[in-house]
Amino acid sequence: MSLAEIVIGIIVCICLFGAWMSSKMKKIYSLQGNNENSEWDKDHAISFGITSKWLLFIAITLLGGYIVYQKIAGTPLEGHTLEWMDLILRWLHIIFGISWIGASFYFVFLENSLDRNNPPRNELAGNLWAVHGGGFYYLEKYKVAPQKIPAHLHWFKYEAYFTWVTGTCLLAVVYYFNAESFLLSSDTEISALAGIGIGVGAIFFSLMVYTALSKTALLEPKNRPYFFIIMFVYLVGVAYLLMQVFAPRAAYIHMGAIMGTMMAANVFFVIIPAQKAMVFAAKEGKTYDTEIGKRAGWRSYHNNYFTLPVLFIMISNHFPTTFGHEYNWVVLAIISLAGAGIKHFHNVWERGEINKWIVPISILMLLFAFWFTAPESNNDAGSGDAVPFAKVKAIMNQRCTPCHSEYNSDDVFITAQGGVKFDTPEEIVKFKDRILNRAVITKSMPQGNKTEMTDEERSLLEAWIAQGAQLK
């Protein structure tokens, strides 16, 4: 049984069990329609029904995909199919992520920009005039709820849910289905299955740590700096530990998955339930516990600060200067901290406040990261004997062209990655700067050192480039 089969089997079992449990919960809440919480129970029944259908759909889709996979395994269609799965999931993840983060930014802007001085009615907390797309908009925020809840009320939740679902699927397809090549560090001795267990365990253990901290007094605004320091130190520690086991890119992506899971859990377990409690209290004429709404708002505030670090991680796998550095966990910490600082400036600026130190400090941190990741100058690289191009071509053919050729021989990548090909001498010279960066400086290529390029071979490539990359 292959690793991909084990992963698919586990996910299918979880989905089927979840669908069964959701169906049971739907029946339980449907039978409680006559008590005083009928509206709340009815909503729970609907939510569990939808959840059950989606989990069943995911299980059937995975089983169908597995059957198709068995038909194409070992054929050229295998790599082609995995590449298209990667493409579609990545595309969907970006689409849903933009929707979620865009909504988060917009509502934080609204909260920060409301005119709270002279609301037109006592029941309002503030209002805002805006112009966009050729029209004027007028928005009002109620202190609690309007006297009558409108029949059609839009909920902002599915953007978060589908961002997390597509991200989780993408993590499985890219890093778990090919764990030996993409997940594990080249010098680790643990099995692929153990590596997957570490990754999943790190995500959910971190969620438990974050949830536990969020239930303490540290969540309150007056203690927010202490909460931030504790979580920052914890996440940096997790990043350092993951770097010892995983390939650098995989470690970075898992840090994004950890923060993304915290954000999605905030929406699913705290923010949306608080909003439902507020709506149902208004419908049934009951007093709403505003403390629930406050805590949900504070969790939403956390999500707002997570966004820029997570966005950086999403694009970081295109920039080996970051994840390929010797102290990549330090680079991740610096850039994430700078991103959170810039987001903080944006938030206080929207409230009409100006902190003149936040942006300069954040920029200085990014400049420090630029300096910290700069390659060391090796003036002696080209001082030895001339490296003949024949040696370079032999190295490239053995170590690089399996994934960078017109006719790839790699078992995963069927097309030249990034459009980079090393079939001809002219193509090798054309991409000499990229070869220096990826194969020599950051050592991020070959991917996971799958073709086992040696340090001696990397040094020969460096010397050849330093000598002018001559074709002789």
Give 84-133 pLDDT, tens digit per residue.
888 898 999 999 999 999 998 898 888 889 999 888 888 899 999 999 98
Question: Tokens representing 465?
Answer: 């480039």
Residues 6+ positions from 332 with CB-CB distance below 8 Å? 236, 239, 252, 255, 313, 316, 322, 323
pLDDT digits (tens, 9 = 90+) for 325-345: 999 999 999 999 999 999 989
Give yes or no for a contact between 364 and 271, defined as CB atoms under 8 angstroms apart: no
Q: Is 33's pLDDT higher than 60?
A: no
Phi, psi of 178 (to 5 degrees): -125, 50
CA dihedral 288, 108, 354, 364 (to 10 degrees): 130
| Choice among 249-258, 290-299, 354-363, 379-388 with the minimum mean pLDDT | 379-388
pTM: 0.85
Mean pLDDT, residues 389-397 taken together: 92
Both structure tokens of 63: 């089983």
pLDDT at 300 over 60: yes
The pLDDT value given to residue 40 = 62
Residue type, 129: W
Return the pLDDT at 290. Answer: 80
Cα torsion 335, 243, 327, 228 to 10°: value is 40
Q: CB count, 10 Å around CB of 345?
A: 20
- Report residue 94 CA to chain centroid gap: 10
CA quadruple 62, 64, 67, 73: dihedral sign? negative
Is 117 exposed, middle or buried, given 0-12, 13-18 or 19+ CB atoms closer than 10 A? exposed
Residues in the chain: 472
* 32 pLDDT more than 60: no
Cis peptide before 388 (omega within 30 of 0): no
Residue 38 confidence class, pLDDT cut points 50, 70, 90: low
